[in-house]
Amino acid sequence: MGLTGIDYIIVLVYLVGTVGFGVYLGRRIRTGQDYFLAGRKLPWWAIGMSLVVTDIGAIDIVGIAGSAYLYGIVMGNFDWLGSVPVMIISGFIFIPIFWRTGVTTVPEWFGKRYNIAVRTTSALIWGSFLACNLGIMLYATAVMLNVLLDLNPKAVIVSPAETAAVTEVLDAVAGKKYDCFRMETVKDTVTIAVEHRPNLLLMDEASPLKDEIITRLKDLPAGKEVPVVLFQMGEDLVALQDRAAESARPPAWPLFYSIVLMGVLIGLYTFCGGLTAVVYTDVIQCIVMMLGCAFVLIYGIHRLGGFGEFVDLIHQLGDRTKDHFHLILPADTATPYPWSGIFLGLGLVLANAYWIGNQAIVQRSLGARSEAEAKASYVWGAILKVFIPFIMVVPGIVALAHNPYVADADKAMATLVRDLLPTGVLGIFFAAFLAALMSSVDSCLNSAATLWTKDIYQRFFKPNAEDTHYLTVGRILTFAFIVWAILFAEFSANFESIYTLIQTLLTLFQGPSLAIIVLGVLWKRATGIGAFVGLIGGLCCSSGMLFINSYASEPLFLIEDPFLYIAWWSFVFAVVLTVVVSLITPMEPEEKLRGLVYRYKGGNA
User: Does residue 578 sit within a domain?
Assistant: no
CATH code assigned at 321 = 1.20.1730.10
Is 58 a residue whose pLDDT tops 60? Answer: no
- Domain count for the chain, please give it: 2
The pLDDT of residue 73 is 84
242-253: per-residue pLDDT in tens? 888 888 888 888
Say whether both 390 and 275 belong to one domain: yes
Q: Which residues pair with 42 in a beta bridge?
A: 368
Say whether both 225 and 273 belong to one domain: no
Q: How confident is the model at residue 591 (pLDDT cuts 50, 70, 90)?
A: confident
Mean of the pLDDT values across residues 564-586?
92
pTM over 0.85, yes/no: no
User: Does residue 567 sit within a domain?
Assistant: no
Say whether both 132 and 161 belong to one domain: no
Say whether both 376 and 300 belong to one domain: yes
Last residue of a domain, one of 217, 250, 283: 250
Helix and strand numbers, DSSP H then E, in the chain = 30, 4
The pLDDT of residue 2 is 59
Q: What percent of the chain stands above pLDDT 70?
A: 94
- CA dist 283 and 271 (Å) reads 18
Q: In this structure, are residues 495 and 530 in contact, taking their beta carbons and an 8 Å threshold?
A: no
What is the Cβ-side half-sphere exposure of residue 96, based on CA atoms within 13 angstroms? 15
User: Does residue 501 sit within a domain?
Assistant: no
Is 572 a residue whose pLDDT tops 50? Answer: yes
User: Does residue 108 sit within a domain?
Assistant: yes
Is 472 a residue whose pLDDT tops 90? Answer: no
CATH code assigned at 196 = 3.40.50.2300
Say whether both 225 and 288 belong to one domain: no
Say whether both 402 and 323 belong to one domain: yes
Name 483's Cβ contacts closer than 8 Å, sequence gap at least 6: none
Say whether both 319 and 392 belong to one domain: yes
Instruction: Kindly provide the b/e burial profile for residues 230-269, where b requires at least 16 CB atoms within 10 angstroms of the residue's own CB.
Output: ebeeeeeeeebeebbeeebeebeeebeebbeebbebbbbb
Last residue of a domain, one of 462, 492, 522: 492
User: Does residue 421 sit within a domain?
Assistant: yes
User: Does residue 550 sit within a domain?
Assistant: no
Say whether both 287 and 349 belong to one domain: yes
Mean of the pLDDT values across residues 344-373?
85
Q: Which residue has the higher pLDDT, 336 or 368?
A: 368
Q: Please name the amino acid found at residue 565.
A: Y
Round the average pLDDT of the chain to a whole number and report it: 83
Is 121 a residue whose pLDDT tops 50? Answer: yes
The pLDDT of residue 605 is 43
Segments forming the whole domain that contains residue 271:
5-14+27-149+256-327+339-492
Q: How confident is the model at residue 120 (pLDDT cuts 50, 70, 90)?
A: very high
Is 137 a residue whose pLDDT tops 90? Answer: no
Last residue of a domain, one of 492, 526, 545: 492
DSSP codes of every residue in 270-317:
HHHHHHHHHHHHHHHHHHHHHHHHHHHHHHHHHHTTSHHHHHHHHHTT
Say whether both 268 and 350 belong to one domain: yes
Say whether both 356 and 212 belong to one domain: no
User: Does residue 570 sit within a domain?
Assistant: no
The pLDDT of residue 148 is 67
The pLDDT of residue 521 is 92
Q: In this structure, are residues 141 and 262 in contact, taking their beta carbons and an 8 Å threshold?
A: yes
User: Does residue 396 sit within a domain?
Assistant: yes
Say whether both 187 and 311 belong to one domain: no
Query: Burial, 219: exposed, middle or buried (Cβ in 10 Å; 0-12, 13-18, 19+)?
Result: exposed
Say whether both 236 and 273 belong to one domain: no
Is 165 a residue whose pLDDT tops 60? Answer: yes
Mean of the pLDDT values across residues 47-73?
79
H or E element at residue 180: strand 179-182
